[in-house]
Chains A and B, each alone.
Chain A
Amino acid sequence: MSAIQSPPQRVWWKQPLDRVEGTWIVIAFVWCMVMFFMMPYWHVYGKQNLSNEAYRSTPEAFLAKAQAMVDKHTVRTVTEQNIPVVHPVPGADVYLVARLWQWWPVLELEEGQTYRLHIMSTDWLHGFSLQPENINIQVHPGYEHVVTMTPTKEGTYSIICNEYCGINHHTMASKLYVVKPKKQ
């Protein structure tokens, strides 16, 4: 009987498998198991995993920490709006504020050094998208997400917002500079 009619056998689960189906199910299942183990495997042996470290916070508390960092580590300002460029000490906690429609401040990091990047939104949902690396992380209001990040190559990168956040979403872009480590 066809698929739009009742099966010939009253009890459908007694119908045997076809050989082609049995073979394919085994192959497909093995492949699903490979994919199943890839994620835990990468957690142990891979270098790119998203952090579990996140804290509940408030816009005031987060802005205060970002301001403290800006006050201490600003090296210059860019654009007519005088956006501070911050060059924090390698290994330090770095704060990046996402808000309508800006990333603040601009970060300058050293190649090969590791930073604890704290990202939070102070208003709506935003998307942290680092280009052209193409690393993409969701940014929530009220959740301070700590990502430990190691820039591998010097250059000028862009941070763009890729979570729709209103009419000027397309202007929410910023830079991230990666420079050679300073001679001590």
Chain B
Amino acid sequence: MAVNRNFRTCPSTGLVYHEPAEALIRWNAVAGVVSLLVGGVLALLVTLTRWPAVRLLPPDWFYLVLTAHGLDMLVFWIIFFEIAVLYFAASTLLKCRLATPKVAWVAFWLMIVGAITNNVAVFKGDSSVMFTSYVPMGAHPLFYLGLILFAVGALVACFVFFGTLVVGKSEKTYNGSIPLVTFGAVTAAIIAVFTIAAGAIILIPTFMWSVGLVSHIDSLMYRTVWWAFGHSSQQINVAAHVSVWYAIAAIVFGAKPMSEKVSRTAFVLYILFLQLASAHHLLADPGLTSNWKIFNTSYAMYLAVLASMVHGLTVPGAIEVAQREKGFNKGLFEWLRKAPWGNPSFSGMFMSLVGFGFLGGISGVMMGTEQLNLIIHNTIYVPGHFHATVVVGTTLAFMALTYFLIPTLFRRELMFPAMAKWQTYVYGLGMMGFSVFMMGAGTLGVPRRHWDMAFSGAVLPHEFPGTAYLMMGLMAVSGILATVGGAMFLINTVGSVFLGKKIQTPGFARVSVKDGMAPAPTPEFAAPAVPAVHGSIGIGGFVAPGTFVLAMVFLTSFILYYFVNWKYLSTVWPLK
């Protein structure tokens, strides 16, 4: 039984990989990327159909493809990759063995079977119910069964992650507290557990309803519980990609968090408040009182928003401090100008941070405000918002991390390094444009999940203004640009992983450890007992003045946009 105790040290980064964990990280990442490939092809079809001048697919195919796109991207791509991140954050960063690799493989296969089952149900054509699958619109039982199997697998994987933390603790593979990135991953996993619990509460009865064992599911009850699952599942992504930001800041710059206390407390705020903030999906629904809506969205959401605003400062702040300590200490922005903009890990991460904050964050707060929601609910503004958060935020951060993982985890050189340099920009800018133009069209009332904004065949059609058509056209062009960026990523990563030049490993060390033992923690380079006082860097007593200025720019845009929307709301028909 001693076979499973093998570790190797990555020669270039010094990271220690437990080999069974390494295999699991790889396979989960690969499954994620395959889902991204499927979802990406579907994304192109959706974009080309929503482009009014092209309208590629007929309606039945459009709704089918849109359903599959949502599930493959939001669920399968992201969660497979997140499981890889969890195993990496626990086993590699704590330098310990992965708890129960066999169980982790069971989890992996459950997720694979679930993902395939769900996709089969959708592609059969009788389950075009969208990602949200609102009852009483029904899907084939396999649709729900696939999701349930996948969720069970993901839940098991979370427990393998927690078990690994216990292993690391008891085998003393690290000193003191867990690293910040692992702490963020713990946040993501805790949110995942109660999210999946909420998913079970709603998906299991819905499955029984689909096979005829339950006669009626109340639509409002469904939406209420479903969103406890649906929104929280996106908060797993937020916690995960914020951890990835910190990880990349550490990997690329050797940046250390300005204050562990601040960054970790911000993660704790996510755990405490995000779940309740899911109530903001029900702001336009009947049967719930304003008190309930305001109570749940206001205090819970704003404390979660506060957490994101803190991370939005501390991640670039940590980079700025690291850069200034390296000597880029001139003026406000030398640290940023001299950043490695040609390194896709950095450029991807930085665009993810900016896009998530400016586009996703601000628009999210807008939609989560009870009254402002009235002028946005279910318009294409909503996908505009979540493409900024989930795609620019999470997917781009994961892409950035992948560029780091290919040499260290897959031990392959990038096949097309020049293409990688451009990829994050093409994808990031394409996606940002895509989100912004969707938001613009949504402000003009264009509905989401809608085959034809010209209402062909309708008895009393509505005519949208020309600007709305222009917005949708620009959206499609940006979407195509983003698809090109996505294809560049897939070609490069798939090519590198399977055909890339193997990295010669003279320093490659395989350490066999006795059963039940872990390697002694390698002495980390001597840390000062007291955190360094950054006396010599910064301006006016601020170690990160550039970041602070950027944060104030962010805040100003936020305040302006927020009140512009209130102004707009005040011009619509009085309602009560």
- A27 / chain B contacts, CB cutoff of 8 Å: 555
The answer to whether B306 and A28 touch across the interface, beta carbons within 8 angstroms, is yes
- B528 / chain A contacts, CB cutoff of 8 Å: 8
| Proximity string of chain B (110-153) to chain A, C-beta cutoff 8 Å, 1 when within and 0 when not | 00000000000000000000100010110000000000000000
Q: Is A96 an interface residue (CB 8 A)?
A: no
Interface residues of A in 1-42 (CB under 8 A from B): 1-21, 23-25, 27-29, 31-33, 35-36, 38-40, 42
| Proximity string of chain A (157-171) to chain B, C-beta cutoff 8 Å, 1 when within and 0 when not | 010111111111111
The answer to whether B371 and A133 touch across the interface, beta carbons within 8 angstroms, is no
A169 vs B458: C-alpha distance when bound (angstroms):
10
A144 vs B286: C-alpha distance when bound (angstroms):
8
- A131 / chain B contacts, CB cutoff of 8 Å: 445, 462, 464
Shortest C-beta distance, B324 to chain A (Å), equals: 12
A52 vs B141: C-alpha distance when bound (angstroms):
35
- A20 / chain B contacts, CB cutoff of 8 Å: 258, 313, 317, 542-545, 547-548
Q: Is A68 an interface residue (CB 8 A)?
A: no
Q: Is A106 an interface residue (CB 8 A)?
A: yes
Interface of A is mostly: mixed
Name B265's closest neighbour in chain A (CB-CB): A13
A183 vs B468: C-alpha distance when bound (angstroms):
38
Q: Is A184 an interface residue (CB 8 A)?
A: no
Contact of B375 among A9, A23, A135, A172 (CB under 8 A): A135
The answer to whether A31 and B290 touch across the interface, beta carbons within 8 angstroms, is no
| Proximity string of chain A (55-91) to chain B, C-beta cutoff 8 Å, 1 when within and 0 when not | 0000000000000000000000011110100000000
The answer to whether A39 and B298 touch across the interface, beta carbons within 8 angstroms, is yes
Q: Which residue among B250, B286, B566 has the maximum number of chain A CB atoms within 10 Å of its CB?
A: B286
Shortest C-beta distance, B262 to chain A (Å), equals: 5
Contact of B371 among A18, A49, A149 (CB under 8 A): A49
The answer to whether B284 and A3 touch across the interface, beta carbons within 8 angstroms, is no
Contact of A78 among B259, B460, B527 (CB under 8 A): B460
A43 vs B180: C-alpha distance when bound (angstroms):
41
Shortest C-beta distance, A182 to chain B (Å), equals: 20
The answer to whether B251 and A4 touch across the interface, beta carbons within 8 angstroms, is yes
Name A2's closest neighbour in chain B (CB-CB): B250
The answer to whether A46 and B458 touch across the interface, beta carbons within 8 angstroms, is no
Contact of A36 among B298, B456, B551 (CB under 8 A): B298
A24 vs B357: C-alpha distance when bound (angstroms):
15
Interface residues of B in 164-185 (CB under 8 A from A): 174-181
- A79 / chain B contacts, CB cutoff of 8 Å: 459-460
Interface residues of B in 454-469 (CB under 8 A from A): 455-465
Name B310's closest neighbour in chain A (CB-CB): A25
- B313 / chain A contacts, CB cutoff of 8 Å: 20-21, 24
Contact of B130 among A24, A25, A127, A164 (CB under 8 A): A164
Interface residues of B in 347-392 (CB under 8 A from A): 365, 369-371, 373-379
- A98 / chain B contacts, CB cutoff of 8 Å: none
The answer to whether B447 and A167 touch across the interface, beta carbons within 8 angstroms, is no
| Proximity string of chain B (73-114) to chain A, C-beta cutoff 8 Å, 1 when within and 0 when not | 000000000000000000001000000000000000000000
A20 vs B246: C-alpha distance when bound (angstroms):
18
- A134 / chain B contacts, CB cutoff of 8 Å: 375-376, 379, 443-445, 572
Name A49's closest neighbour in chain B (CB-CB): B576
A-B contact pairs, 11 of them (CB 8 A): A3-B179, A17-B261, A20-B544, A32-B309, A38-B369, A42-B370, A49-B575, A132-B444, A135-B375, A170-B59, A170-B452
10 additional A-B pairs beyond A49-B575, A140-B220, A142-B218, beta carbons within 8 Å, are: A3-B181, A13-B264, A32-B303, A54-B286, A136-B377, A137-B377, A141-B136, A143-B220, A143-B286, A149-B574
Residues of A within 8 A of B (CB): 1-21, 23-25, 27-29, 31-33, 35-36, 38-40, 42-43, 46-52, 54, 78-81, 83, 106, 123-125, 127, 129-138, 140-145, 147-152, 158, 160-175
